[in-house]
Amino acid sequence: MENNTKFNVWYVLAAIWGVLLLQSLIFDQFRAKVIPYSEFIQALTQGKVIEIAIGQDRISGKMRNETGDGEVVFSTVRVDSDLTQKLADHNVKFSGQVENTFVKTLLSWFVPILLFFGIWYILMRKLQGGQAGIMNFGKNKAKIVGEKDIDTRFVDVAGADEAKEELQEIVDYLAQPERYLEVGGQMPKGVLLVGPPGTGKTLIARAVAGEAGVPFFSMSGSEFVELFVGMGAARVRDLFDQARDKAPCIIFIDELDALGKARGAGGYGGHDEREQTLNQLLVEMDGFDTQKGIVIMAATNRPEVLDPALLRSGRFDRQVLIDRPDVNGREEILKIHIRKVKLEDDVDIRTIAQKTAGFTGADLANAVNEAALLAVRKGRKKVATADLDEAVDRIVGGLEKKNRVINPQEKKIVAYHEVGHALVATLTPGSEPVHKISIIPRGLAALGYTQQRPTEDRYLMSADELLSKIDVLLGGRVAEQIFFDSVTTGAGNDLMRATDIARAMIVEYGMGKTLGLSTYPRQRGPVFLPTEHGYGGGRDFSDETASRIDAEARDILDQRHQHVMEMLTERRDTLAAIAELLLEKEVLLEEEFIRMVKED
């Protein structure tokens, strides 16, 4: 439970006021009437003084009041040193006085000290509650979620059926460990969830805890590492100590690569704290007993950088892939997210799933939310198909820049360029069908785009299919050459991608003539993180071989360029008609585009 104690200056003022009030009440009870010494002598001569106590500097005692039927406690400053004779002459009982300062000392020292420690205690509680105090460095920062507070279940996770089947054993073990112990089996100490960002690794870890009904400790790998040496290792120890007290439970470490990078890979002397933290994690994973019901789960999208000691048997025994969903998975994910929005009756979720190839669960959730915002912006009460299409386009290509001023000549070049892509894609067997053509600028640099919709998820590609991809990429530049007898910088990215495919066919896939079956894969990069770099970097072949590879890649591009040139030249009139219609409407959908192609 979180500590919500808050420090307030009004607490201090109230405490000071209470001390002053206490002093006032105590002293008022014993307070004497202070009179001048002359008045005391006068009362003495009149016989009103009953008794006194003589101190070194003060005289205090009792005397009768003016009416004579009561007594008054008085106090005065001693002036006359020869006072005893006068007292004896008037038969006044007197004695010496030793001044008692205990109560005054107690109030003047003890109460302020008590007040100081009270303020200090409140401040410490406040700092510890916020996880920011110097006394709290060694404490872990894990978010602890009780079993009753986890409302995520496997039904809330879609598009990862295989992963849920793998993790169902963890749920069964946490719920009924005696079944496995009876056979003599032990669950893996650690489960590593790997996959691209946004695929739902954290969500499925919470679902495991929710299904099993156990506490859930969640912490990011970067939260272990601190400026002060030793703090990360102390937090690891504290985390496992708390987990043992809460067993059975699940410990989830997100972004494990921030903590578990291979030791010694980052240079010398700069990562002592991170390596100590990693060493402590390895020790803790070796030291705890799985029979207590503690399961460690971690997530990363960079498994290639993890220390091999983390991945050996006995630590993260099981690795579960949470990949981008296929078309069926995307459809199930969309059904989960559209529960929160109102849809028009004609919305086809299957069609939206087909348009979003390569989207992760986070991308699909963002698309549904963007569609809802667009519907509200347009004054509709329900989300329409057009809203979902526009949301997908916004995620893929960026925000529309309708106010970007483009001169007519450039706009015409963009239209012919995009229609060149679309026409080659439609006329090439096995190519993905065209869904939309647009010349509305999007994002930072896109002046137009051609959107293709895959009919199915593909995992293998033939040489002919790779060549057809090169054809589609070259279609825009060829259209510019045919109609404007010149080329522009708009095809720069297309040429880079086409060159990358041609070189990969030769060097990686064994589809070229230069290397035959020999391959020289590119340097190892991130498994799940996209990169903008094509084939390059270090190489394992000679300069002569590199020259032959360059020549063959150039031959492939030249041959495909000639093929596309012949294809578009034969359909010059069709291309021009579609381009002029695109200039008029700015956006062409699949139905109208296909109709114009068939009219040729």
Catalytic residues: 418
464 is in an annotated binding site: no
Nearest to 341 by CA among 298, 374, 389: 374
Q: How far apart are CA 149 and CA 63, in angstroms?
A: 75
533 is in an annotated binding site: no
> Is the CB of residue 250 less than 8 Å from the CB of residue 204?
no
> Is the CB of residue 248 less than 8 Å from the CB of residue 292?
yes
Q: How far apart are CA 371 and CA 526, in angstroms?
A: 32
Q: Which amino acid is at 233?
A: A
271 is in an annotated binding site: no
Q: How far apart are CA 256 and CA 398, in angstroms?
A: 31
Nearest to 159 by CA among 208, 218, 201, 209: 201
201 is in an annotated binding site: yes
Residues contacting residue 180 through CB under 8 Å, at least 6 positions apart: 172, 173, 186, 187
Q: How far apart are CA 202 and CA 252, in angstroms?
A: 8
CA–centroid distance for 169 within its chain: 28
Beta bridge partners of 62: 51, 73
537 is in an annotated binding site: no
**H or E segment at 121?**
helix 111-129
**Torsion angle of alpha carbons 336, 340, 346, 348, nearest 10°?**
-20
C-alpha dist (Å) from residue 303 to 166, 273, 492, 521 = 19, 21, 33, 19
Q: How far apart are CA 320 and CA 303, in angstroms?
A: 11
Helices vs. strands in the chain: H and E counts, helices first: 21, 14
90 is in an annotated binding site: no
* DSSP 3-state of 105: helix
Backbone angles phi, psi at 475, to 5 degrees: -60, -40
Q: How far apart are CA 193 and CA 205, in angstroms?
A: 9
Relative orientation angle of helices 463-484 and 408-427, to the nearest 10 degrees: 150
Q: How far apart are CA 333 and CA 161, in angstroms?
A: 12
200 is in an annotated binding site: yes
494 is in an annotated binding site: yes
Quickly list H helices, 200-348.
Answer: 201-212, 231-246, 272-287, 308-311, 327-337
421 is in an annotated binding site: yes
What spatial distance separates the first Cα and last Cα of the chain, rounded to whole Å? 72
Ranges assigned E (strand) in 149-197: 190-194
Nearest to 478 by CA among 488, 468, 464, 493: 488
Q: Does the N-terminal peptide bond of residue 248 adopt cis geometry, omega within 30 degrees of 0?
A: yes
**Torsion angle of alpha carbons 435, 439, 440, 445, nearest 10°?**
110
Binding site, annotated residues for Zn(2+):
417, 421, 494
Binding site, annotated residues for ATP:
195-202
Binding site, annotated residues:
195-202, 417, 421, 494
